[in-house]
Amino acid sequence: MNVTVVERGLLEFQFSQLRNLPLIHGMSGHNNSAPAEGDIAYSSISDPTDTTANRRAFFAELGLNLESLTLGRQVHGNTVHAVVASDRGRGQPPSFDGFPDTDGLITAAPDITLGVITGDCVPIVLYDPRKHVLAVIHAGWRGTVSLIAKRAVEAMKAGYQCRPRTILAGIGPSICPSCYEVGDEVVDAWMASGIPDARRAVLSRDGSQYFDLWTANRYALMAAGVQRRNIEDSAICTRCESHAFFSRRAAVAGDSRKGSQMMVAQLTQRS
Ligand SMILES: [Zn+2]
């Protein structure tokens, strides 16, 4: 007897507060039954044919066109780029002509899917329902301590007349403080960021230091004027949940396959 097994897709996470709004968003994850276990990055790790298949499957699942995907060339920096209609599709093969040195993207244009690729770093989605403006950010520790989240809000304010207090923010699945032991260079850079109460995002245990990327990015958003109640924390750790997500640290420890996932978001027409 044949039993049809319906495999789950690549969509692994969505923010509750961003559902039922005029945007489509979601984050892919790790899936044993997908090609290259769902790896969605073009790199030396996976066959590009598998990466393309995974991107197509993930976009189809969300009802998005892969041709709309627009990316930056992420460098763990704090540059946020404005994206207009004519940029649609930048960063895709074969040219990989994404915005240079860019870890955050903002747009008011429909039909553009903003994406960031992560493997433990923090994906952040910002949406202003009043101005219908969207941003997607990749915040590793370097981006976090150089306050890319705050810079993105400031860019939405300066370029799109957004009011920070109306912006909805989501801090997506990424490495948790318990899994993220760091050295002095990380702690020192964070403590120099000028964020009030910065110390609260650094934890000490058995002589080691751990950086709380979730709290740090929340503080950065709040420093830009985003309301605490408008920030949704996924509180999902990619390292603890490495069956569901790719985790750089899990891969380095030999506990999982190397690979990456993607957070995407796109504005839709307002009714
Ligand atoms: Zn963890």
CA of 239 to the centre of ligand 1 (A): 5
Structural domains in the chain plus CATH codes? 18-267 (3.60.140.10)
Q: How far is residue 86 CA from its own chain's centroid?
A: 23
CA of 93 to the centre of ligand 1 (A): 33
Provide the residue type at 163 as one letter.
R
Q: What is the pLDDT of residue 3?
A: 52
Considering only CA atoms, which of 231, 218, 254, 241 is closest in space to residue 12? 241
Provide the residue type at 129 as one letter.
P
On the question of a cis peptide bond just before residue 48, with omega within 30 degrees of 0, the verdict is no
- Which long-range contacts (C-beta less than 8 Å, at least 24 apart) are formed by 248-256? 248/119, 248/120, 249/120, 249/175, 249/179, 249/180, 251/119, 256/30
CA of 217 to the centre of ligand 1 (A): 17
CA of 193 to the centre of ligand 1 (A): 24
238 CB contacts (<8 Å, ≥6 apart)? 118, 119, 120, 173, 174, 175, 245, 246, 247, 250, 261
Considering only CA atoms, which of 109, 73, 104, 117 is closest in space to residue 88? 109
CA of 175 to the centre of ligand 1 (A): 6
CA of 236 to the centre of ligand 1 (A): 8
Burial (CB count <10 Å: 0-12, 13-18, 19+), residue 186: buried
CA of 155 to the centre of ligand 1 (A): 31
The per-residue pLDDT string of the chain (271 residues; one tens digit each, 9 = 90 and over) reads 445 454 679 999 999 999 999 999 999 999 999 999 999 999 999 999 999 999 999 999 999 999 999 999 999 999 999 999 999 999 999 999 999 999 999 999 999 999 999 999 999 999 999 999 999 999 999 999 999 999 999 999 999 999 999 999 999 999 999 999 999 999 999 999 999 999 999 999 999 999 999 999 999 999 999 999 999 999 999 999 999 999 999 999 998 999 999 999 999 988 7
Q: From CA 28, how far away is CA 235, in angstroms rounded?
A: 16
Give the global pTM.
0.96
CA of 221 to the centre of ligand 1 (A): 22
Q: From CA 234, how far away is CA 240, in angstroms rounded?
A: 13
CA of 78 to the centre of ligand 1 (A): 24
Q: From CA 109, how far away is CA 106, in angstroms rounded?
A: 9
Q: What is the pLDDT of residue 7?
A: 62
Q: What is the pLDDT of residue 8?
A: 72
Considering only CA atoms, which of 199, 202, 204 is closest in space to residue 213? 202
The two three-digit tokens of residue 214, written as one number: 């979730």
Q: What is the pLDDT of residue 11?
A: 97
Burial (CB count <10 Å: 0-12, 13-18, 19+), residue 121: buried
Bridge partners, residue 152, by sequence: none
Contact 128, 166 (CB under 8 A): yes
